Chain A
Amino acid sequence: MELARLPLTHRIGRRLAEGIDSTLLVLMLSLSMLGLLALFSASYDVPSRVGAQVVNLAVALVAMWLVAQVHPQTMMRFAIPSYVIGVALLVAVALFGDVVNGARRWLHVGVTRFQPSEMMKLALPLMLAWYFHKHETTLKLRNFFIAAILLVVPLALIAKQPDLGTAALVGAAGFYVIFFAGLSWRVLGTLFALGLAALPVVWGFLHGYQRRRVLTLLDPSTDPLGAGYHIIQSTIAVGSGGVWGKGWLNGTQAHLEFIPERHTDFIFAVFSEEFGLIGNIVLIVLYSLLVARGLVIAANAATVFARLLAGAISLMFFTYAFVNMGMVSGILPVVGVPLPFLSYGGTALLTLFIGAGILMSVHRYRKLVQT
């Protein structure tokens, strides 16, 4: 009754705000604004990119809003279909995908191409969360084993493309679900030990260029014309930024074209050069708050499905940020991982905002009674 008396615009505003977590939204928008600043500086040669990224952001926001309206109970119904379709598309990629830069990652859909591995970033945690939810009361080691298989199948397909970066990210997302589902520490410890022992075997399966990237990390000067060049130059960019940075639009590394892929994977180098240590700390704090908010939402989630999914998505945000910044500052190998909310590109933004939408939905339908 009272609602009906409010002006129309106000009512629309309320409807729009429904189910939207303002804390998450503010954090994400702050990060995105910083991203647009860095992007503007990085795309002095192609200014239209900033406009395009604004459009990407708008689209991603709409997607987030839509997802936030969906009840987690309803999301569970999408688990199996999205996983099965995702794996089927990955198989299709392996069979008739397009090869770009030597990796078979893309699938033609009508006029455009798309990367099924991107979809797996959300579809896999969704599937695993659903699986553990279903077996909630009778969870045994066997269930973890099946979960591991669900994890390994898409992982192997992505790793084979080869796209080790995305494979690692998808694998991490799946692992987080399994971790939160309560896999015992003893098994975790054993797996970790086995993983270490298997490293030499993995090394044998790596492609030449992948090996070179790892070796390059250890000594960038061995490959000054290839991947080592990226690391050398991005490290110089970060280091020369100093405490206060060189100031917006004043980064010499970026503007003299020393930074490769400066608007996508290496945008952090541009940001770091111009905004310095202070800017980096602000960025880290924003990411930490974002992850913390996500974990709080997970801790208060109503169902096993909701909390596992929310927990995994929160840690995914962390992983992307950490891997990208680690790569640019020269402590992790160069893999194609964009910096969340800052890197140019619509697909990555869409995934992130949909993930946030899920968090918001989980928060909206949280446990109402505190135990």
Chain B
Amino acid sequence: MRGLSELRNSEQELYQFQARVAIAGIAVLVAFALLAARFLYLQVLQHDVYRAKAEDNRISVVPVTPNRGLITDRNGVVVARNYLGYTLEIFPKRVRNIERTIDEVSEFVDISNRDRVRFRKLLQETRNAESLPIKNRLSDEEVAKFAANRFRFEGVEIKGRLFRQYPFGDVGSHVLGYLGRINTQDQQKLEDDGVGANYRGTDYIGKAGIEAQYEPELHGTTGFEQVEIDAAGRGIRTLSATPSQPGNNITLTLDMRLQQVAEVAFGDRRGALVAIDPANGGVLALVSKPGFDPNLFVDGIDPQYWAELNGSIDKPLNNRAISGLYPPGSTIKPYLALAALETGKRKPSSTIFDPGYYDFGGRRFRDDKKGGHGTVDLYKSITESCDTYYYILSNDLGIEAIAKFLAPFGFGSRSGIDLAGEFTGVLPSPEWKVKRFKDPRQQKWFPGETISIGIGQGYHSYTPLQLAQAMAMLADVGHMYRPRLVEHIDNPRTGDSRDFPAEVIHTVNLKRENVDFIKRSMAGVTKEGTAARAFSKAEYTVGGKTGTAQVIAMKQGEKYEEAKVAERHRDHSLFIAFAPVESPRIALAVIVENGGFGARAAAPLARTVLDYFMLGKVPPGMETPTPEDDSASDEEVESGE
């Protein structure tokens, strides 16, 4: 009985299945009939139309690359522009023997060994490139010579193209960044972002700095031309054209002349300087020395220079201002003093006696000044930079309170500046130590470690940008702005302008009288304190604080002797400042690597920069700060023509 019903069941199922097979078969036929109808439409009814199109095809779509947007500083000084130059290009697919062709071409055009090496590198790195430059920036004579012999070279052509140029050379190189050829990785990223089509015909892309950060703004929209071509693929005439739209122009908050003054002041020394407008977070100068010449990247950097830059012990490609980490040294003291006032641990009038050392936990923490500073109040602790005062203070405050107070000033957290590659740094605290170390024995915070935190040593490590940002926040009595480099972005065609307004990250409620006291003390530093000599006869008011950061750890009780330490083990010299004291317009942080005492290297450098900023005083040896002259600049092409 049961077997029978199962059988019938499966028979019924089979019947149902076969019915569905028939339906599927019909559906297949209908679908194919639809396709056939489409073919009929295309190949019979519309055949003439498409035949004509194929005949003209002959019509090739050629991308028209847009002009890259210009970059200017806050005063309208152009810091990145385009100019028209001629390049000699080889079409690898159309040339049989590339090496021999290069040899033959070199009869007419001077091709150096560097050019050859660079070309070979390009050939390896780029896939599917139509043509690659063997020589950039041909002279007029070379252009004429080659043009006369052009018929001899199949697959070698002269192309006119826009080159990026940075008139200030290596000044501001870490801010501006540079352009480089689009490599396989870049191509992939463009495809991922869905903008691959817009980069057809574009060979260069921003690789670092503002050029990379604002690439989508600067690039513009690629246009296209429909060009009639002959059977060999050569263009005969243009049929229709959709023009390209130039990239947007970017105006920086940077003051390029200030930047230049600062960079010249550094000379050959290594280090960084960041200057910020405390009222809105606009970056006025951002220096990292040594720099590099971004112009050399534009043509496809030659491997030798690249190796020099990459291999140098000075690390010129690193942007020290945002990725260099340094202990703050004594520049941390004003903040701890403010913490003492805000928490009520100290009053301005309360004093200590400094015998020249502080004993804690069986160890002796020495003051910088032999024999000590004697009776020290809060004001004097800042102007004379008394270590003993801060050993005691940090012990009184405790590490938790210190970390809690310093954090809102941006110490140990990324500022969010519009540049890639910013480092976080370390704001030391017991929690940080637990996170940092795996070994439980290392995770414990020792009370002795709190003592050296008071003078900016120990685990502290911050970027120069963080130091400048904290200075700006103190100068602006508790308002923290996101530091930014771009003031506004303009569309050259429509004239639309987008402002990048100041962005308050947070505000900390600080007592006005406390902040004013700290500011007065810092003004004292430049009048009668550690930076008095550097700022003698200054015609404006300025608050500052010197700092010296140890590069190698000294054993306690060991005295540091500069002469004995190798140059690169010498202390870093630091200085933070703001001016004018009453209503600050600039806040800055300077670090001179291995510069020794803060008062010796960093403070005079800050003086030079502030003299220019406050008074327009140009330092000797740089009477008129102008961009390097370049013979090509008269062919400059402005965006938006």
A residues within 8 Å of B by Cβ? 99, 101-102, 136-137, 176, 179-180, 182, 207-209, 212, 223-226, 229, 235-243, 252-253, 256-258, 272-273, 276-277, 280-281, 284, 287-288, 291-292, 295, 298-299, 304, 307, 311, 315, 318, 322, 325-326, 329, 331, 371
Contact = CB atoms under 8 A, between A and B. Distances in A.
A300 to B, nearest CB: 9
Contact of A182 (B16, B28, B47, B231): B16
B47 A242 contact: yes
Contact of A311 (B13, B21, B49, B197): B21
B231 A256 contact: yes
Q: By DSSP majority rule, is chain A's interface helix, strand, loop, or mixed?
A: helix
B6 to A, nearest CB: 6
A292 B231 contact: no
A240 B50 contact: yes
Nearest to A273: B54
A277 B21 contact: no
Nearest to B54: A240
Contacts of B238: none
B42 A235 contact: yes
Contact of B43 (A182, A242, A284): A242
Given A236-B57, A253-B54, A295 B24 contact: yes
A180 B20 contact: yes
B21 A101 contact: no
Given A102-B188, A295-B25, A299-B18, A237 B54 contact: yes
The 3 closest A-B pairs by CB, nearest first: A239-B50, A226-B197, A240-B54
Contacts of B16: 182
B436 to A, nearest CB: 28
A239 B46 contact: yes
Nearest to B46: A239
B500 interface: no
6 contacts: A207-B194, A223-B197, A284-B32, A311-B24, A318-B32, A322-B31
A239 B47 contact: yes
Interface stretch (B33-41, B67-75, B251-259, B624-632): B33-41
B61 interface: yes
B31 A137 contact: no
A232 to B, nearest CB: 9
Contact of A101 (B31, B36, B63, B191): B191
A299 B21 CA distance: 7
Contacts of A258: 57, 60
B50 A236 contact: yes
B234 to A, nearest CB: 12
Given A239-B43, A239-B51, A240-B47, 6 more contacts: A176-B24, A182-B13, A225-B63, A226-B196, A236-B57, A291-B28
Q: Which label, helix, strand, loop or mixed, suits the secondary structure of the B interface?
A: helix
B540 interface: no
B200 interface: yes
Given A225-B200, A295-B24, A299-B17, A243 B43 contact: yes
A329 B61 contact: no
Interface of B: 6, 9-11, 13-14, 16-18, 20-21, 24-25, 28-29, 31-32, 35-36, 38-40, 42-44, 46-47, 49-51, 53-55, 57-58, 60-61, 63, 188, 191-192, 194, 196-198, 200, 222, 224, 229, 231, 233
B225 to A, nearest CB: 11
A277 B57 contact: no
Contacts of A253: 54, 57
Nearest to B39: A280
B563 to A, nearest CB: 55
A280 B41 CA distance: 13
B25 A325 contact: no
Contacts of B49: 239
Contacts of B57: 236, 252-253, 256, 258
A89 to B, nearest CB: 23
Nearest to A255: B231
A280 B46 CA distance: 16
A322 B43 contact: no
Contacts of A238: 39, 42-43, 50
Contacts of B198: 225
A161 B270 CA distance: 47
A288 B36 CA distance: 12
B21 A243 contact: no
Contacts of B24: 176, 179-180, 295, 311, 315
Given A240-B47, A288-B29, A225 B222 contact: yes
A225 B35 contact: no
A243 B44 contact: yes
B65 to A, nearest CB: 12
Contact of A241 (B43, B194, B197): B43
B19 to A, nearest CB: 10
B550 to A, nearest CB: 44
B18 A280 contact: no
Contacts of A284: 32, 35-36
